[in-house]
Amino acid sequence: MSITLTLTYEETLRPETVALIKEYEQNDFELTAMLAFIDENSEADFQEFYGVYVELGEDHGYEPVDAFLKIYDADMLEYFESAYIGEFVDKQRMAEEYLDCEAREADIRLIVDWEETANYLMMHEVDNVGCYYFRSI
């Protein structure tokens, strides 16, 4: 984020964006976070999706939501909750825990290559202060 944008965003951004920023500021939204979202996405995305972004960030934490935005555009935020699997130390742990409930229901013993299973599940992995995993949308 450019310090200039922080100081001059009212002259730089569209009037409707500035009005929305002012409205969010009245509800205690942080200016620097809003400007960072605009910088990383777009004014149009801010106008349409910032409310959803904040709601998801408050419910699930901002790190996984930001990780999701490294894979998908902001217009896909509505799918975050159905795609988000969780934070795991590695692919193996993710695949084991993801499939664990199904394995408990079957009384069989298998030797599984969990990393290859994770690859087969076509999950997206984002390493961002931990590893966040998402189902393909």
Q: Is residue 51 assigned to a domain? A: no
Q: How distant, in Å, are the alpha carbons of 11, 36, 50 from that of 17?
A: 11, 13, 11
∠68-72-90 over CA atoms, to 5°? 40
Q: Is residue 50 assigned to a domain? A: no
pTM: 0.74
19: which 2 tokens?
């009005």
Specify whether the CB–CB gap between 17 and 43 falls below 8 A.
yes
Q: Is residue 6 assigned to a domain? A: no
Specify whether the CB–CB gap between 86 and 133 falls below 8 A.
yes
**pLDDT (0 to 100) of residue 124:** 60
Q: How many domains does the chain have?
A: 1
Q: Is residue 43 assigned to a domain? A: no
Is 131 strand, coil or helix? Answer: strand
Q: Is residue 49 assigned to a domain? A: no
Q: Is residue 109 assigned to a domain? A: yes
Q: Is residue 22 assigned to a domain? A: no
**pLDDT (0 to 100) of residue 3:** 45
The boundaries of the domain holding residue 109 are: 61-137
Per-residue tens of pLDDT for the chain, all 137 residues: 454 477 789 999 999 999 999 999 999 999 999 999 999 999 999 999 999 999 999 999 999 999 999 889 999 999 999 988 888 887 777 777 777 755 555 555 566 777 777 666 655 656 554 577 777 77
Q: Is residue 118 assigned to a domain? A: yes
